[in-house]
């Protein structure tokens, strides 16, 4: 399972799809035996399947849905519900939706005795958790209006929160880049020919990759002459038939010249 999880994280769509197909066979063959793993392999596999089922790539999403269906048919509902419970309150709304659908299919297999064993109160709490995050954001927005405050404050707070999280992520990314640069320099002193070949391969691969901007949208943001710029694009790796979709949001204003938010 660890190998399958690692392959699902690969940016190559073909390899990702193949690993998802392999996970379907793993569920069918081993079933409840997968729950006995002591290294959280099942939890990691379940999370990756929910993430892949939430993607925009249709063929990957459909294959992940089939794998989740195979899991529901092969694993006993009661322990599976306990595994799915944390994902009902996941930060990604698409993951929450896929988890809710999987829970619904699993509950339909339980029967009345299984539901009583799991607890009707617990089932009710799961259904409440599915909408809790959505209601929290709507409640915060409505409370601002009830207090007579400007709704733009809510939007400004969301943007500032995204910028803060983005800065933390950017610092981590810069740290990894610095580490990679240091490792390459150290390796170059010991294996100069191999490092040179490595750089040539990377240069050729980067030159063959295709990058296409599909959407650019701008709108004013707040009274401080700010501007939001939304950019979406496609990125195609060498040897891949399908493109990777990604998007960026840039925030410009007089005090903060430019901040980018990776979505």
Summarised one tens digit per residue, pLDDT across range 127-174 is 545 555 554 555 565 666 666 666 677 667 777 777 777 777 777 778
Question: Using an 8 Å Cβ cutoff, are 52 and 65 in contact?
Answer: no
Residue 95 has pLDDT above 80, yes or no: yes
| Domains: count for the chain | 2
* Residue 40 domain flag: yes
Summarised one tens digit per residue, pLDDT across range 219-235 is 776 555 577 778 888 87
What residue numbers bound the domain in which 185 lies? 152-262
- Residue 203 burial by Cβ neighbours in a 10 Å radius (0-12, 13-18, 19+): exposed
Q: pTM above the 0.75 mark? A: no
Summarised one tens digit per residue, pLDDT across range 173-209 is 788 888 888 888 888 888 888 888 888 877 877 777 7
Please tell me the least confidently modeled range out of 7-21, 106-120, 127-141. Answer: 127-141
* Residue 157 domain flag: yes
173 and 221 share a domain? Answer: yes
212 and 258 share a domain? Answer: yes
Question: Using an 8 Å Cβ cutoff, are 2 and 40 in contact?
Answer: no
Share of the chain above pLDDT 70, in %: 75
12 and 134 share a domain? Answer: yes
21 and 120 share a domain? Answer: yes
pLDDT number for residue 147: 67
Mean pLDDT value of segment 108-131: 57
132 and 204 share a domain? Answer: no
CA gap 23, 9 in Å, rounded? 13
Virtual torsion, Cα 149, 139, 249, 6, nearest 10 deg:
160
115 and 178 share a domain? Answer: no
- b/e code 127-149 from CB counts within 10 Å (16+ = b): eebbeeeeeeeeeeeeebeeeee
* Residue 144 domain flag: no
Residue 94 has pLDDT above 60, yes or no: yes
Q: How many CB atoms lie within 10 A of CB 88?
A: 22
More confident residue, 67 or 129: 67
């Amino acid at each position: 399972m660890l190998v399958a999880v690692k392959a699902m994280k690969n940016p190559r769509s073909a390899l990702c799809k193949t690993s998802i197909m392999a996970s379907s066979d793993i569920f069918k063959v081993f079933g409840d035996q997968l729950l006995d793993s002591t290294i959280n392999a099942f939890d990691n596999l379940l999370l990756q399947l929910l993430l892949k089922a939430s993607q925009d790539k249709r063929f990957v999403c459909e294959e992940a849905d089939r794998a989740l269906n195979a899991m529901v048919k092969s694993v006993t509902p009661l322990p599976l519900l306990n595994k799915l419970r944390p994902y009902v309150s996941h930060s990604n709304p698409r993951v929450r939706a896929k988890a809710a659908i999987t829970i619904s299919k699993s509950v339909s297999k339980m029967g009345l005795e299984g539901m009583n064993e799991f607890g009707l109160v617990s089932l009710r709490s799961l259904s409440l958790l599915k909408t809790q995050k959505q209601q929290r954001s709507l409640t915060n927005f409505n409370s601002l209006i009830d207090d007579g405050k400007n709704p733009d404050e809510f939007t400004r707070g969301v943007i500032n929160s995204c910028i803060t999280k983005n800065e933390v992520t950017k610092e981590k990314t810069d740290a990894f880049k610095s580490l990679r640069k240091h490792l390459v320099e150290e390796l170059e002193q010991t294996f100069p020919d191999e490092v040179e070949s490595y750089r040539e391969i990377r240069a050729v691969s980067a030159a063959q990759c295709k990058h296409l901007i599909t959407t650019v949208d701008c709108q004013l943001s707040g009274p401080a002459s700010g501007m939001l710029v939304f950019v979406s694009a496609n990125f195609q790796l060498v040897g891949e038939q399908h493109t990777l979709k990604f998007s960026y949001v840039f925030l410009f204003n007089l005090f903060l010249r430019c901040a980018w938010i990776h979505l």
